[in-house]
Structures are given as C-alpha cells and as structure tokens.
Amino acid sequence: MVENTGNIGAGITGGQCDISKFAGIQNEYPLGSGCTHGRWGLWVGAKRGTGSSVGVSTGGPHCNPYVNDEFFPTAEPWDTVWAINKDEIVDIPYWNNYTGISHQDIVTRFSDYFITSPNQVCLPDQEPHTPLYIDVISVTYVWSGLDAVIHRYWIISKQLDLTDLFVSWAGNAHIYQVGKPATNDEFCTYDEENRLGIIEDITQNWDDCINSRAVAFRMFPEDDNESLIWSWDEYDVNNDQFPRTGDNDRYELMTRGIVRDPIQSLKYGHFLYSVGPFQLPKNDTIQFDVVQVHGKNVDDIYNNLENIINVRDNNYKVPAPPPMPPLKVDIGNHQVKLSWRPDAGETDPETYQDEYRLDGEMVPFEGYRVYKSTNSISGPWTILAEYDILGNGIGEELGLQREYLDIGLLNNLTYYYTVTSFSKPDTLLGVPSQESSIFANAKAATPGTSPPDRAGIVAVVPNPYRSDAKYYNLEPPWESSNALTGIWGEENRRVQFINLPNPSTIRIFTLKGSLVTELYHGINGENEHSGGILNWNLTSRSGQAIASGIYLFSIDDKYNNTQVGKFVVIK
C-alpha cells in the first residue's frame, strides 16, 4: 500500500495508532497469504541555510504518539496516486510524458509545508513542525515474479539552501498473520558489508506467517561516496523508540552511525535506517532509491536482493511475462471445456519476443498453467494442470497442450477458470520465470444441459428459497460473497431459472399481478457461458430486496410461446 503522504503500508493517523489499519494487510507477501510486514516511510533531516537550525520532516506513522505525518499533497485533483503500466505514457502535471518502467509504477508527490502548526496537534513536550520546504516525488516499481519492489525518491528544495541533509527509512516491521493476535517477536540486524537492514520474525508463535519470515531494506543514494555516514538504529530497550523532544534529537538519531542492540528483549521490529550528508541548494534535487526485499527467510532475502540489484543495474529493464492466452470456454453436461488456441488476429503467447532479457532468448515462452476456483472470479485459485515445452531441459517436460476438459462437475453451479502463460527464467539477469496475470482472462462457467428450443420446462431452484439455509456455506457455494470484501450480503442472494430457451424474456410478478422485475436471457453478454440458466438476486427493478411470499413468473421464447409458473420465497 503506497500513499502520497510519505508512507508505505499505513494510513494517515495524525500521530496516533489506528488499530483498524494496524490490523489490516499492509505489505503482504506472498500474494494472498495474509502475511503483513508492517509499515514504514520517509524522514528527511537537514540544517537550514547557513545557520545551525535543524529540521526533520517525518512520514511513516509508527503507532507512536511523538511521530506525526508531516508530508502531504496539495489539494489539486491531479496530486494523487498514479498507477501506470509498463510502456504506458501519461502526462502528469509535474512529469510530462511519464513512461511506465515496471509492470506497474506507482507515482506520487508530496511536500512538508502543507501541514504546519497550529493545524498540527502536538502532545506535551513535542515541538510543532517547522518545514524544510521540500517537495518529494516518489515512484514505486513493482514487477510480476520479483520478490522485491524499488522506491525511488527525488527531493527538491523550494526555499532554502539545505546542508548536511540525511534521508531515512523509518518504521515498524511487525510481521504477523492477519486475523491472528499479533505478538512482538521480531529481531533486527544490520549487515554493514551489504548495507542491508533485516527484520526477521524469529519465534514459533501464534501470529507466525509460515510462508514469510523476513523483510529487508537497502538504500542506494545517487551520490554514493566514501564520505557518507550510514546509520542503523534498532531502538534498544533503554531508549524511546522515536525521540519525543524534537528535531534536534531526531536529527542526532539519523546521523549517529550504527547502533545495535544484540539482545532486543522487547523485539518490536522498530528501526531507522539513514544515509548522508548531502548538500541541497535551493531549487536543486537529490535522488536516492530504497529497495524493499521480501523472503521466506533470511537466506531467501539475500537471493532476492541479488535479483533486484541485477534489475537495478540493468537500468530497470526486466523481462516481461508472455501475453495472456486467448481463453475460450464451452460448457456441457457436467463438464467445462477450455481452449486457448489463438484464432486469426489473436495474439499468440508462444511467439512473443522480449528485448529486455540478457540471456539472448528472444522468444522466451515456456508453457501454460490452468487454474480453477469454486469461490469467485478473484480466486482463491487451485492449479489443475501445467504444460511446458518438451525436450528443452526446463520445467516438468510435460509437452504443450492448448485444451483442458474438466469433468464430473455439478450442473447449474458456477465455476471459475483462468489460463496463464509463463516464460523461461533469465538466468543471466537472475530473474525467475514470468507469468501472465492470473486474473486477466478469468472466466465464469456454469455447466448444464443444452437450452431447449422452446419454453415449457423452465423451473426455479431452490423452490422454496429459504433465507435461513445459508447457501453460501455449500461447496461450491450457491451464493458467493462479495469479491472485494469477502462478506456475504443481501445482494448476493440468488435463485436460478433453469431450462431457459435462448433467447427468452422472464417477467416476475406478485400474486396481485404487480411487475417485480423483467430479465433477459440470451447467448451473448454475461450469460455467454451459462447455457439455459439465469440467476436472479431477489431484488426488484428499483433495486429493493423482495419480501417473503409467493411469486409468479412468465417465460416468453422467440416463437412467442409463453410458460407460466410460481415459486416461494421465505425470509
């Protein structure tokens, strides 16, 4: 989660710990695991002008009452968070013709002079914020298949000559499984040779994430010279986690070098990682990168760090995944057939070329993966099959297929499928195999018998519909939860009209003859893969949930035949 307030993985809290955000997923790894790794953000400290006055502007809320959010964007509508795909060109007012570098670039801008006293709430013995008058442009690079992201910063001084400037990455790397009671069981360390700060979840505890136990950071200043001071502080138990008495103490913390607590008996995972000094005259700019590396353990961290450094050294040119396969779905009686052989004019993943590879493999396609979900079009997904090129010594050596038949399914229940394509790894660049998006061509399919030619055998299921039946607990669920929230609601109720002719019109009435709603069923659109069925969520044409009662329906087919029937709703 990236925000235009200098924060990574946390919301604006006004210096206070927002429990609702603290309990949510902030830096999730691996995808879908529910393992969160805390929150952190940017600090900038410097001397103002020729005098000795020191200022420190802080981002990154840390659940600490003495650290405020002091970065904020302007009120301009364009001063927001921009998500830009690879090679996409966007005109941002402060960056014309911005061209996407990674699979998704996240671009923001913020300043330290929009939140100042008296608007800022200060606690006892806390100094009001005095800005350095700096603008910060932040770009986060995210690549599919890489277990790291790169945060790039450009700092511009707008009013002052800033001397002895230090930049910091400060935060709380609290590693835990969302939904479990969180415990303080993190251990910090600093690798001076590699300038790498590491936070590890070290104990077998009830909040542990078995798939991810570590996160690390590496700073890369553009002006990297021998005079720079590198600082790392883990906050030993005898000191405040963050200084409360003002900018002088914060600046001292940013500049004092390596301070380590080998015991760390409280194991909070709080850290501050800094580098400087830099000289920043008015209207000038300094630039630096922060690499955020994830891994299953510390050894995994070092492997993934090497990969992302190779990417950075390659001027951020990263091999791309193949195009998504052109997935087509055919339904049948208790079965679904998937095919992804390209037709004329469709993109063939097997022929795509990638100029960003270092291994000389210009056509790096390797294979396909077939996934299925019984829950929603957003997953979770189970892999059904993998096919790869036979005889090249890579992967499982299964041979390529462009069709898959899933049999033994329950008719009239909805299943979800997707097929991805993946590439060979680039061993010279150290980039693993790249896979196309699992969501990009996901499709719903409802197996069943072929639709009849005429109306006459249409039925409603379940009949009666009972609100106490908890249809969402079935497997596959008869009623799915909201794909974004995972919560079942009234809008997720459904009955199903089966044995519908294509096309047909369905009208639903109360017993008094009042029209409740009118539905249309055809071979195209949302019902393309649903045969002779149509779902209705028990809401009227005005969007209101219907009450308990007996309802009538009429079905009109293309031959002007009409079938009537009734069903019961019990709430």
pLDDT of 111 reads: 95
> Higher confidence at residue 394 or residue 46?
46
| CATH number corresponding to 459-570 | 2.60.40.3080
CA distance 261 to 45: 24
Q: What pLDDT does residue 13 have? A: 47
Task: Specify whether the backbone of 492 is left (phi greater than 0), alpha (psi in -120 to 50) or beta.
Answer: alpha
Q: Do the domains 459-570 and 328-445 match in fold? A: yes
Question: Model confidence over 397-416: pLDDT tens digits?
Answer: 889 999 999 999 988 888 99
> Is the pLDDT higher at 258 or at 126?
258
Query: Is residue 471 helix, strand or coil?
Result: helix
371 token code pair: 């996934």
Question: What integer best gives the mean pLDDT of the chain?
Answer: 85
Q: How far apart are CA 431 and CA 317, in angstroms?
A: 11
User: pLDDT tens-digit profile of 447-504?
Assistant: 888 889 899 999 999 999 998 888 887 777 788 766 555 577 778 898 999 999 988 9
In the chain, domain spans? 7-313, 328-445, 459-570
Q: Pairing mode, if any, of strands 258-259 and 229-233?
A: parallel
Q: How far apart are CA 145 and CA 432, in angstroms?
A: 7
Given a contact cutoff of 8 angstroms between Cβ atoms, the answer to whether 501 and 455 are in contact is yes
For domain 328-445, the CATH class is mainly beta
Strongest mean pLDDT among 63-72, 228-237, 421-430:
421-430
Residue 63 has pLDDT above 60, yes or no: no
Question: What value does the mean pLDDT take over residues 327-334?
Answer: 92
Task: Categorize the per-residue pLDDT at 508 as very low, low, confident or very high, splitting at 50, 70 and 90.
Answer: very high
Distance of alpha carbon 4 from alpha carbon 508, whole angstroms? 49
Which two structure tokens, joined as six digits, stand for 395?
């992967």
Gap between the Cα atoms of 419 and 452, Å rounded: 31
537's CB contacts (< 8 A; 6+ apart) are: 491, 492, 493, 494
Tell me the per-residue pLDDT of 191-202, one tens digit each, with 9 for 90 and over. 999 999 999 887
Does residue 396 carry a pLDDT above 80? yes
pLDDT of residue 21: 44
By residue count, the chain amounts to 571
Q: Tell me if the pTM is above 0.85.
A: no
Lowest mean pLDDT among 20-24, 409-413, 455-459, 510-514: 20-24
Q: Give the SS3 label for residue 19.
A: helix
Determine the pLDDT at residue 99. 95
First to last CA, the chain: 40
In terms of pLDDT, which residue wins out, 521 or 115? 521
How many CB atoms are closer than 10 A to CB 405? Answer: 11
Question: What residues does 404 pair with on adjacent strands?
Answer: 338
